[in-house]
Amino acid sequence: MHPIAWYLALLISIPQTLMIILMGFSLFNLKIDLSRTVIVALVMGVICYLIRLLPIPLAVNTICIILGIAVLTSLIGNTPFLDSFIASLLGVMLYGVIENIILQTFFKITEYTVSDVITNSFLNIVLFIPVLLLILSIYFLCRRFNVVIYDLGTRGEYSEQR
């Protein structure tokens, strides 16, 4: 696996984790305090950095990230593990689809390749910006219009923490 620079963990992994949690939890109507979400994102930034140092395939890397987010949101956010896992899984899937659309569009209109993005930190940051803007826009639209895929938050198990 290609290790990532520490600043990429700070500039990409932390906001990426924030958006994964916010999107996933929002679409399942699960409440999690923003400060707890930031704590999870900071811890996951370190974990993502460490995972990338391991010689494991990208698919295993992604599974570790999903499980890490689920465990941490369950422990720190006080939500049942299964709910955290489902929300994390949806957040990662949505994030992955949006990232894939933007990257594939970028590759089609430029001569850059996946290898270029992996090895060029600056390019990695530049390509993260439209992904972040698009997922933030989708998140705020979902919140504005109260879009919920499946309501896991009405079972009375959650206190209002927002």
Which of the residue ranges 57-71, 104-118, 147-161 would you say has the lowest mean pLDDT?
147-161
CA–CA separation, 46 and 40 (whole Å): 10
Query: What does the angle CA 96 – CA 31 – CA 159 come to, to the nearest 5 degrees?
Result: 160
CA-based angle 103:45:142, to the nearest 5?
Answer: 60
* pLDDT > 50? residue 159: no
Residue 55: predicted pLDDT: 87
- pTM for the predicted model, two decimal places: 0.88
| 90 neighbors 28 (Cβ within 8 angstroms) | yes
